[in-house]
Amino acid sequence: MNNKGITPVISYVLLVGIVVITTSAAYFWAYPHIDRLGEGPKAQNMVNQMESLDYAMRQTIHGEIGFRNSFNLHIPEGSIRLEEDNDKIIFNFQQGTAVIGYIPEPNDIETPINCTEDLEYILDERTNIIGSKIGEYSQLYAGSTGAPGTAILTLCYPNVELVWQGKCIRGRGGPRTNVLMEKKGINEEGKPVISIDFC
């Protein structure tokens, strides 16, 4: 007797094929969205680490001469550097979404590159990115080229002279960086002199 219908084997193969195609389509549609979900916590983690580094820096600034401090950074996707000329510590990394937003050039002022008191915006000359101040009491500024693109976090110390210690290097990438700080003394202008190394 000949059945004109579909056999159970063919039905099973068709069902498995439909499930595989549907699952694959859902995965490829959702993959970019899933990837972006990790951007928010990653960028916020970088901000939190830089705020903690700022706190460790302020401890060192207010310590006695010879006071030493260190801070461990976990920066798997970025690099940190010291700019002695401008008394800045700059961390830059790539972001996939605009967690740290783009700051346009303010119309009424030229964005400064040097740290000064009550600074609202600061320009990083190397990346040409403008950062805006985060929080009221922090020395941290954040900005980006947009998304996807480069984001920067800048610690700016107008009343401190930052110098390179010379034990390790002036800048480095991750995944782990130990920031060594030491209060060396007071300069002629009355500013604390803090040596920095990234090991």
pLDDT digits (tens, 9 = 90+) for 4-13: 666 777 778 8
Residue 176 half-sphere exposure toward CB, CA atoms < 13 A = 4
Q: How confident is the model at residue 24 (pLDDT cuts 50, 70, 90)?
A: confident
Average of per-residue pLDDT values in the chain:
84
14 & 74 share domain: no
* Structural domain total, the chain: 2
Is the same domain home to 51 and 95?
yes
Claim to verify: residue 48 and residue 24 sit in the same structural domain: no
Residue 33: pLDDT above 70? no
The HSE-up count of residue 144 (CA atoms within 13 Å, CB side) is 17
d(CA 156, CA 50): 11
Nearest CA to 51 among 73, 77, 67? Answer: 73
Residue 94: how many CB atoms within 10 A of its CB? 13
Q: Are 65 and 162 part of one and the same domain?
A: yes
Domain that holds residue 101: 39-198
Q: What is the pLDDT of residue 125?
A: 85
Alpha-carbon torsion 154, 62, 189, 180, what sign? negative
For residues 154-176, average pLDDT: 87
Which of these, 169, 88, 180, 188, lies nearest to 129 by C-alpha position?
A: 88
| 20 and 49 both lie in a single domain | no
Q: What is the pTM of this model?
A: 0.77
